[in-house]
Amino acid sequence: MTARVLVVDDIFPNVKLLEAKLSAEYFDVVTAMNGPDALAVCEQGLADIVLLDVMMPGMDGFEVCRRLKNAPTTAHLPVVMVTALDQPSDRLKGLDAGADDFLTKPVDDAALFARVRSLVRLKSVTDELRTRAMASREYGLVGDPLAAAAAEDGQNAKILVVDDRRSSYERLGATLSQLHRVDIEPDPHQALIRAAEGAYDTVLVSLDLQEFDGLRLCSQLRSLERTRDLAVLMIAESEDRARILRGLDIGVHDFLVRPVDRNELVARVRTQVRRKRFAERLRESVQVSLELAVTDALTGLHNRRYLDSHLAALFDEASLRARPLSVLVLDIDRFKSVNDTYGHDAGDEVLREFATRIRSQTRGIDVVARFGGEEMVVVVPDTGLEGARAVAQRICDRIESEPFAIHQGTRSIPVTVSIGVSARMVEDRSPADLLKRADLALYRAKEEGRNRVVASAA
């Protein structure tokens, strides 16, 4: 997988060396010699991952990383610190700043390329979500999903530790339980089941499980639909470099090397929880925007756009399977006089209650939509004309059964509805034919005195 890699270092030979190595692996390379230039490149969306030196004059790498991770537009960018600093305190400082990893110079080429490919692959998962979430924001469908996602602190997560060494899992559990809810599972077979059913944020897997390949469990967690969104961290021995690189290649998010530093454990888990929740927030905002796009804001019913597409699909399926399909077109009687007499706020109250009463008389598989103004449509699958007429009569009776409260419940008014009903006929060529007959039946109901149901026989 290729990507645009931003190399940031104030020493020119270091920049050229990394640029040559990455270019030979078919990465596109962008360079910057200082922090402000690096931030500008990232803000313009010109990088997929950042390889960041720490020791730079002016703004050091820790500050650059902190700014990238705190900005909603760049918080998703993977950052790898590449530096000569090799003390645990330096590594922890980088992870606390939000870095995804910390590589020590001289950099092992295989480790560098494996880490870059792994992080870019993980980033690509969220890129489409970001694009859709940003489109939702631009169209005013939701608030600022990027800001909400970037604000996640990565704490109070649900963690599953898969380790069969008592001394190891007790130490891991004691450290993580100070900030998270931790479950321990020594049995890898049970761990897969628990991970699928337990709504975990992160799973830590020891690669040293007895009589079971820890990498296989990591692979299963990454491939199963119910667990593929979990953050997975490997715990390995320092000499197990080949398996660590293999784990990154199959999609494991991060790793820790024994003996595990407590502070690094906390920092890496926090980073992975934040990344997972970032993607979840974006996914939720996309779902909300999709729902808003097909929902009428006033009544909460489906809107005309949803009706048009869904009715077409139901019509085609009914035609293919020779199954019945019926449509009800409803119109509130003399609704204009409600607006004229009591005001548009009262009219809105009537419409909301009208929608609620319709839903109370329909099934979950029925489609209830606001067609426009005070006109609603109910699509009734697998139901013939007489069955649909009975549904319409129930709705008509329910609307008339008690007055509608208006002006925030301070008064009430009587409301009735006229309904036209039609059922799919063999000669119908499209849903428009079905709707037209129901609409004509509605007009007859109005002409015959309103507050009634008329079914179209032909």
Helices then strands, each counted (H, E), the chain = 16, 17
Distance CA 235, CA 450 (A): 73
Radius of gyration of the chain (CA): 30
Q: Are 22 and 29 in contact (CB under 8 A)?
A: yes
| Other CB atoms within 10 Å distance of the CB of residue 350 | 21
Least Cα distance to 3 among 138, 123, 95, 102 occurs for 123
| Alpha-helical regions (H) of 99-197 | 109-138, 145-150, 166-176, 188-197
Active-site pick, 317, 374, 400, 427: 374
Q: Are 372 and 304 in contact (CB under 8 A)?
A: yes
Give the CA angle between residues 430, 432, 435 to the nearest 5°.
Answer: 125
| Alpha-helical regions (H) of 178-230 | 188-197, 214-223
Least Cα distance to 369 among 349, 354, 387 occurs for 354
Give the dihedral sign, CA 33/39/44/47: positive
> Which residues touch 446 (CB under 8 Å, ≥6 apart)?
331, 333, 418
Distance CA 249, CA 222 (A): 11
Distance CA 263, CA 181 (A): 17
Q: Does the annotation mark 317 as catalytic?
A: no
Active site residues: 374
